[in-house]
């Protein structure tokens, strides 16, 4: 059993190995830490590391190890509790892991690692994008139960195929990076989905909620959605909603309701609002494939280019296949009163963010 401080030498070896690999692959890149192994190991571990200055998702494998070593040292954590074979990942992969996954891998230290990772990211993003963006990113980390199941699944699969019980980081990464709650919500086969081709989520008709109110239900979503149409057919025959004059009829049939009942979030933070959904499509070019465009970026004026497609995406997000632009626009009009949106008279499909909206201004993103 290695001593508490044994992690130093163990990680040193791993880091040296990674360092050599990276150096061989990319030469000796730009920074001091890549050019002086001894310097890196002696000083960077504790406090002045290159990882500290970077968004964690941009970390190299080496920087991930630096970061790990720093926390192991800092918390005098027993290195024997860590399977170093699981530490070989870059920052993007690391970022994709949920808190539970980090605990599974790193034991009690996982919690601290998770906090550290995301506080670092918050600090980094605060410099560049503003709080709203941070919230969006952080909200994507909430689907822990399903993540844990996925982790189990991946490990079990590897064991089944007689490999070392290592984690398929690529699979985990793909899942996580495409799963971050609301971040990846806008996915549909004919619009945004193409930009996410290959991800697990992009192939599913729905996507999680930014606020987490749905994010912990994703494990069951695919199951639910795959049988959704069947539920509809069955329910039409024996559980029709009662007729009424005006107002909102039941959206979910009784079977669907039964199916969904186990999916409620225990602690749903604020859900995603429509205006935030719209805003984030506008702000994220990779998901905005001709759906919306800025008419006047500085004034917050934007236009629907594919109104029905946006409505479909909103419907997907809200698990509502009957969403239309007409309904969506009604919700948009309610924002006028709350001054989240302002009217743009005489222009069809054009809206303007109001003073009670946030996160879209260029100043917000830079502040």
Which positions touch DNA (CB under 7 A)?
A: 213, 244-252, 257, 264-265, 267-269, 271, 273-275, 307-308, 314-315, 318, 320, 322-323, 325-331, 333-334, 336, 338, 343, 345-346, 348-350
Distance CA 176, CA 14 (A): 25
Which lies closer to DNA via its Cβ, residue 36 or residue 321? 321
* Closest separation in Å from C-beta 321 to DNA: 8
Which lies closer to DNA via its Cβ, residue 198 or residue 346? 346
CA neighbours closer than 13 Å in the CB half-sphere of residue 262: 8
* Closest separation in Å from C-beta 140 to DNA: 16
Query: Is 67:152 a contact under the CB 8 Å cutoff?
Result: no
Which lies closer to DNA via its Cβ, residue 222 or residue 350? 350
- 295: part of which helix (H) or strand (E)? strand 292-296
Which lies closer to DNA via its Cβ, residue 193 or residue 212? 212
The closest of 305, 284, 318 to 350, measured between CA atoms, is 305
Which lies closer to DNA via its Cβ, residue 102 or residue 309? 309
Distance CA 148, CA 252 (A): 29
Which lies closer to DNA via its Cβ, residue 30 or residue 322? 322
* Closest separation in Å from C-beta 264 to DNA: 6
* Closest separation in Å from C-beta 324 to DNA: 7
**What's the burial of 336, exposed, middle or buried (CB within 10 Å: 0-12/13-18/19+)?**
middle
Which lies closer to DNA via its Cβ, residue 101 or residue 307? 307
* Closest separation in Å from C-beta 274 to DNA: 4
Handedness of CA 125, 132, 304, 208 (dihedral sign): positive
User: In sequence order, which ranges of the chain are alpha helices (DSSP H)?
Assistant: 6-26, 32-35, 37-39, 61-74, 91-95, 99-106, 109-128, 131-139, 144-160, 169-178, 218-226, 228-238, 254-260, 274-283, 307-317, 325-338, 362-366
* Closest separation in Å from C-beta 280 to DNA: 13
Which lies closer to DNA via its Cβ, residue 205 or residue 315? 315
Query: Is 34:19 a contact under the CB 8 Å cutoff?
Result: yes
Distance CA 284, CA 186 (A): 10
* Closest separation in Å from C-beta 336 to DNA: 6
**Structure token pair of residue 236:** 């039409």
* Closest separation in Å from C-beta 136 to DNA: 15
């Amino acid at each position: 059993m290695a001593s508490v401080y044994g992690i130093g030498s163990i990680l040193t070896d791993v880091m040296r190995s990674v360092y050599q690999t990276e150096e061989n692959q990319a030469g000796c890149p730009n920074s001091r830490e890549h050019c002086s192994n001894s310097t890196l190991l002696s000083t960077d571990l504790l406090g002045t590391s290159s990882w500290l200055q970077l968004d964690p998702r941009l970390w190299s494998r080496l920087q991930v190890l630096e970061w790990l070593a720093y926390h192991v040292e800092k918390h005098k954590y027993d290195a024997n509790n860590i399977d170093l074979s699981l530490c070989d990942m870059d920052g993007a992969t690391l970022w994709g892991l949920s808190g539970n996954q980090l605990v599974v891998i790193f034991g009690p230290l996982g919690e601290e690692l998770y906090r550290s990772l995301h506080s670092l990211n918050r600090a980094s993003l605060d410099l560049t994008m503003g709080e709203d963006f941070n919230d969006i990113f952080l909200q994507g980390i909430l689907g822990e139960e399903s993540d844990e199941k996925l982790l189990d699944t991946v490990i079990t699969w590897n064991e089944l195929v007689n490999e070392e019980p290592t984690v398929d980081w690529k699979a985990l990464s793909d899942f996580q990076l495409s799963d971050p709650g609301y971040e990846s919500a806008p996915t549909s086969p004919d619009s945004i989905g193409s930009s996410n081709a290959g991800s697990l989520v992009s192939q599913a008709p729905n996507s999680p909620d930014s606020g987490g109110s749905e994010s912990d239900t994703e494990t069951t979503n695919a199951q639910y959605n795959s049988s959704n149409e069947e539920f509809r057919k069955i329910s039409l025959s024996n559980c029709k909603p009662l007729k009424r004059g005006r107002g909102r009829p039941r959206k979910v049939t009784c079977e669907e309701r039964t199916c969904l009942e186990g999916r409620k979030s225990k602690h749903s933070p604020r859900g995603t609002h429509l205006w935030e959904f719209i805003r984030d499509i506008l702000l994220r070019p990779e998901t905005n494939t001709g759906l919306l465009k800025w008419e006047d970026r500085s004034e917050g004026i934007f236009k629907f280019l594919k109104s029905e497609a946006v409505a479909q995406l909103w419907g997907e997000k809200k698990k509502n296949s009957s969403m239309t632009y007409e309904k969506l626009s009604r919700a948009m009009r309610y924002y006028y009163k709350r001054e989240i949106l302002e009217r743009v008279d005489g222009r069809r499909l054009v809206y303007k963010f109001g003073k009670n909206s946030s996160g879209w201004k260029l100043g917000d993103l830079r502040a």
